[in-house]
Structure formats: structure tokens, C-alpha cells
Amino acid sequence: FSLGERSGTSEVLPPSDFFADLPPGFTTHESLDEESRRSGQGSSLINEVYPLNFDLNYIYIFYRHFKAKEAERELFRFRKEVEEQSRRQAELHSRALVRAERRGKRTIVAEMKRMAALFATEFESFKDAQEF
């Protein structure tokens, strides 16, 4: 298929022949003068060089970039969540250790008081036994 071939496969005229068959009294709009037609032909060449596929590739690349940024934000949010949870867990563990230490100290103090009371009663009984 080539433009202007008129082999019956296409009735589309090339842009340069489009205005050739117009009647002599027909006036075109000033935007359709020769220079505009040349720029129109140039843009059709550009459109042939950069087809719709280029636009679709650009849209696809933009979409993939958007999805990558979205995944990056999601990963950042997830890491921040894990970090916060880890910090909270460390804080709870620290509090539990302090409580256990206090409980241990209380237990030791209670045991020392019990032993001191036992010693005091035994010492009293020992003193009483010596006085006799």
C-alpha cells in the first residue's frame, strides 16, 4: 500500500493532492495554506515515526513508576511499623526485668527479715538458756 497508488485498496489521497481536485472558486481557510499543509505533512511524518505504541509505552512506564513508588511507600510504612513494634516490645521487656528485679529484691528482703526474726528468737532463747 502506498499513498496515491489508487489501486482500489484505498481512496485516501496524499495530503499534497488533497486540494488539487477542488473547484477554482473554492477558497480555503488561511490556516490551510501551503505552509500549514507542509507542517501538517511534517506532523504526519512524526506520527509515523512515533506511533501510538510509543504513547502506550510511556503510559506503561509511568504506571510502573507509580506502582514502584507506591510499593516503596508501603515498604517504608511496614518497616516503620516493625521498628515501632520492636521498640515497644523492648520497652515492655525492660519493664518486666525491672519488675522481676524488684520482686527478687523484695523476696530477698523478706527472706532476710525472716532469718533476722528467726535469729532473734533463737538468740533470745540461747540467752535465756545461758542465764539459767
Return the residue matching grid coordinates 513494634: 85
Per-residue pLDDT 10s for the chain (132 aa) are 455 555 555 555 555 666 666 666 666 665 555 655 555 555 555 555 555 566 777 888 889 999 999 999 999 999 999 999 999 999 999 999 899 998 889 899 889 999 999 999 988 888 888 876
Q: What is the DSSP track for 16-64?
A: GGTTTTS-TT----GGGSHHHHHHHHHHHHHHHHS-HHHHHHHHHHHHH
2 domain residue, yes or no: yes
Largest CA distance in the chain: 154
56 domain residue, yes or no: no
Q: What is the pLDDT of residue 60?
A: 86
82 domain residue, yes or no: no
131 domain residue, yes or no: no
43 domain residue, yes or no: yes
| The three cell numbers locating residue 26 | 473554492
Q: How far apart are CA 87 and CA 74, in angstroms?
A: 20
- 15 and 41 Cβ atoms separated by less than 8 Å: yes
Q: What is the pLDDT of residue 10?
A: 53
74 domain residue, yes or no: no
Single-letter amino acid, residue 6 = R
Q: What is the pLDDT of residue 27?
A: 63
Instruction: Output the CA–CA distances (angstroms, integers) from residue 113 to 48, 100, 104, 122, in the order listed.
Output: 98, 20, 14, 14
Handedness of CA 74, 75, 80, 85 (dihedral sign): positive
- Structurally, how many domains does the chain consist of? 1
Cα 69 to the center of its chain, rounded Å: 4
33 domain residue, yes or no: yes
- Domain holding 26, by residue range, is 1-49
Q: What is the pLDDT of residue 68?
A: 95
Cα 50 to the center of its chain, rounded Å: 32
Q: How many CB atoms lie within 10 A of CB 11?
A: 6
113 domain residue, yes or no: no
